[in-house]
Amino acid sequence: MQVILRSDVDGLGMRGDIVDVADGHFRNFLSPKGHAIKASPGAIEQAARMRSARDARDHEAREAATSIASTLVPKVIRIEAKASGEGRLFGSVTASDVVDAVKEQTDVELERRQLDVDGIKTTGQHTVTASLHQAVSFPITVEVVAAE
């Protein structure tokens, strides 16, 4: 049975895609949850409009993510944290700390879930990976210094 997805479904497709599924899968899962509708000529035209809108939003999001990446890649984000004499932190630098420092130093707003911070526990330079879009992932250089 051909159906048109009304929302993104893991392992099946994205909104507006026309996919073949088993009748039972459509009847028991996709239709009751509102994830899909049966493909008819009118619905296929609607699916084309959904795909074009999705592609336009995706293009805008990719452009915005690329712009933010070009701003943040050359910068070094400086974070002060309490540390011992040997350079070990009394705690760790978290994604929230990096988000706050980026906002303060560059006026770029990120979300902590977009960052991959691997428990920064020492002073010095570290690299944090930011994923703002599925096609745009870039490193942010973070310099952790001992607070005085």
Domain that holds residue 48: 2-60
First to last CA, the chain: 67
Look at residue 12 and tell me whether its pLDDT is greater than 80: yes
pLDDT the model gives residue 47: 83
51-69 pLDDT tens trace: 888 889 999 999 999 999 9
CATH of the domain at 8: 3.40.5.10
pLDDT the model gives residue 124: 93
pLDDT the model gives residue 66: 94
Q: Are residues 139 and 77 in the same domain?
A: yes
Helix (H) or strand (E) holding 8: none
Q: Are residues 78 and 142 in the same domain?
A: yes
Read out DSSP for 44-89? HHHHHHHHHHHHHHHHHHHHHHHHHHHHHTT-EEEEEE-B-TTSEE
Quote the percentage of the chain above a pLDDT of 70. 100
What does the pLDDT average to over 11-19? Answer: 89
Q: Are residues 45 and 99 in the same domain?
A: no
Confirm if 50 and 15 have CB atoms less than 8 A apart.
Answer: yes
Within-domain flag for 94: yes
Q: Are residues 7 and 33 in the same domain?
A: yes
Look at residue 148 and tell me whether its pLDDT is greater than 80: no
CATH of the domain at 113: 3.10.430.100
